[in-house]
Structure 1
Amino acid sequence: MSAPDRPVLQVIAGSIRPGRAGIAVARWIREHADKHGGFAVELVDLAEVGLPLLDEPHHPRLRRYVHPHTMNWSATVERAEAFVFVIPEYNHGVNAATKNALDYLVHEWAHKPAGLVGYGGVAGGARAVNSIKPTLSNLNMFPLSEGLVIPFVASYLDGEGEERRFTPSAEIEDAATAMLEALGKASPLLRRLRTA
């Protein structure tokens, strides 16, 4: 596949907190996906996207957006054919910034596969991963069973602040590869559904 023909994979960094671990994980996922070679990879950092709490007056299924930030977000998500959500676990669930970003749109998400990467302490973000799946399914996305959770994420980080680097174990790297392979299989099948 030549570069222009590769599906666009967006790695969405869900945390917007200062000092977040997730941006290092998301950067590593992007690098790993680049090496995989099956996708044109984009890193989408919700901290840079800067969406306020949902402020559109019309239901997103109508696509009658009035705010430039929503129109920009719509265009970003529309061009993707697959996603990897890199999400922290807050209070046994997904963080508010990720849920808010999902709630802004409807049609732009539909019939696209999603890989899930959770991170945190002892549970490794598993409860965040499980709590986001009903939302993705309701948006007609296809959350894959292949994904990964990263327990004690701080033990894989080197450096300071937002410039920290994530160095995975062999098991984490293998799980990420399996997720990318599954995304690569699902993406063309779901593209047919979107264009039918």
Structure 2
Amino acid sequence: MTSTPRIAILVGSTRTGRNSAGVARWVLDRAARRSDATFEVVDLADHPLPHLDEALPPRMQQYENPLAWEWSRLIDGFDGYVVVTPEYNHAPAAVLKNAMDWLYHEWADKAVGFVGYGVQGGSRAVEQLRLVAGELQLADVRTQVGLSLYDDFEEFARLAPRARHEGDLDAMLDELVAWSVALATVRERRAAVAAA
């Protein structure tokens, strides 16, 4: 890790008319005020991964698909992640889960925070993603942002978050940056052991 952690804001939906791009912009606008990390939006729509079909598990890092190598290099370059997730049928979008499933080591020993949105604030999607994060050795921070389609969007389409969500977002980013810095030492130690 460089002296300042790099944090990706993952846009977790590729649907036409999706709200996730607007939510990610809101996160970026708020995060850009900070000086303790740099933030960049990573839109899954720009990385059209097929359904996971590699012959070997991602732990092996022997990808056959060139798109997997591109995704690997991109994700590996970050120290932490903010995942913006909608909730579809009590779960995250399949495209988001698929993008996470393509990799393993690139996620490991890094921090992740969640911004969910949906009828129930995306809480059930986030709960499932926390389980996935644990298996990928992503350290999920406690605080999350839950945006209601009824109360934080105008006509279910234009983001107009209630003021309290700015505090939740700031608290989540505080935790995320702190954990991203701390986990850099874990990755450095792991690399040193592997090189020995």
TM value normalised by structure 1: 0.90
Match of 2:80 in 1: 82
- Report the Cα offset of residue 155 of structure 1: 4.3
Between Structure 1 and Structure 2, how many residues are aligned?
A: 188
Instruction: Name stretches of at least 5 consecutive residues in structure 2 with no aligned partner.
Output: 190-196
Which one-letter code corresponds to 2:139 in the other structure?
F
- Report the Cα offset of residue 157 of structure 1: 4.8
Is 2:23 the partner of 1:22?
Answer: no
Match of 1:139 in 2: 136
Structure 1 segments of 4 or more deviating over 4 A? none
Whole-Å separation in 2 of the counterparts to 1:157 and 1:30: 20
8 Å CA contact 2:90, 2:125 repeated in 1: yes
Greater fraction helix: 1
1:190 to 178, 183, 189: 183
Three-state SS of the structure 2 residue aligned to 1:35 is coil
- Report the Cα offset of residue 47 of structure 1: 1.0
Three-state SS of the structure 1 residue aligned to 2:45 is helix
Rate the CA distance shift 1:193–1:156 in 2: closer, same or farther, 3 A.
same
Rate the CA distance shift 1:183–1:155 in 2: closer, same or farther, 3 A.
closer
Whole-Å separation in 2 of the counterparts to 1:59 and 1:153: 40
Which one-letter code corresponds to 2:40 in the other structure?
E
Superposed, which structure 2 residues align to 1:7-156 within 5 Å?
Answer: 7-121=5-119, 123-152=120-149, 155-156=152-153
Rate the CA distance shift 1:78–1:177 in 2: closer, same or farther, 3 A.
same
Whole-Å separation in 2 of the counterparts to 1:105 and 1:172: 31
8 Å CA contact 2:72, 2:106 repeated in 1: yes
Three-state SS of the structure 2 residue aligned to 1:86 is strand
Which one-letter code corresponds to 1:171 in the other structure?
R
Match of 1:181 in 2: 174
Which one-letter code corresponds to 1:138 in the other structure?
E
Whole-Å separation in 1 of the counterparts to 2:36 and 2:160: 22
Which one-letter code corresponds to 1:12 in the other structure?
L
Which one-letter code corresponds to 2:87 in the other structure?
E
Whole-Å separation in 1 of the counterparts to 2:58 and 2:135: 13
Three-state SS of the structure 1 residue aligned to 2:33 is helix
Whole-Å separation in 2 of the counterparts to 1:153 and 1:50: 30
Match of 2:192 in 1: none
Write the deviation string for residues 103-128 of structure 1: whole angstroms up to 9, x where unpaired: 0000000010100111011x110000
TM value normalised by structure 2: 0.90
- Report the Cα offset of residue 153 of structure 1: 5.8
- Report the Cα offset of residue 78 of structure 1: 0.3
- Report the Cα offset of residue 46 of structure 1: 0.5
